[in-house]
Structure 1
Amino acid sequence: MQESTVTIKGQTTLPRDVRAALGLKSGDKVRYVVMNGEVRLLKARPVAELEGVLARPQAEPVGLNAMDEAIAAGAAGAPRRTR
């Protein structure tokens, strides 16, 4: 288990093993997620890196018109069309 000391300014140094595990280098940003009394530390990623993160190779890409139709159908409570 890794630990570090919090300074009077609320600062701490991330242990080397933690930085290595997250692939952090100088200048990187981190995010803190607080859940049920625990904190998770995540490497912040630019939005541009998220391209394709939800991609499913077996599925065809969905166009904007199809998305708009699905949203409208959901809002109206109508059954969704399938291809």
Structure 2
Amino acid sequence: MSATLTSKGQVTIPKQIRDALNLAPGCAVDFAVNRDGDVVIRKVGARTSRKPDRFEAARGKADVKWRTDDLMALLRGD
């Protein structure tokens, strides 16, 4: 399997390799060179590369049980 280096030094990791390492967009990877001069790529820790969900902290925190009709009336000023 081969890939072409861009002028910015970027290479697309082939799909077979991404699938084998379970890599998804945003995943962090480590590169190393072994004694034989081969490049080794490793996935960095599970889920460390995924951006946290900005709504996760607020999810399930509401302590007031609003009915949709009541909330809409409040918001509309009815």
- The normalised TM-score by structure 2 is 0.54
Which letter maps to 1:17? Answer: Q
What is the total number of aligned residue pairs between the two structures? 46
Identity %: 37
- The normalised TM-score by structure 1 is 0.51
Deviations along 1:13-64, one digit per CA (max 9) or x if unpaired, are 1111110000000000110111121110000115x8xxxxxxxxxxxxxxxx
Q: Which residue of 2 aligns with 1:25?
A: 24
Alignment gaps of 5+ in structure 1: 49-83
Output the CA distance in 2 between the equivalents of 1:15 and 1:23: 12
Output the CA distance in 1 between the equivalents of 2:2 and 2:44: 21
Q: Which residue of 1 aligns with 2:2?
A: 3
Q: Which residue of 2 aligns with 1:60?
A: none
Over the aligned positions, Cα root-mean-square deviation in angstroms equals: 1.6
Kindly indicate whether structure 1 or structure 2 has the higher relative contact order, using CA contacts under 8 Å at least 6 residues apart: 2
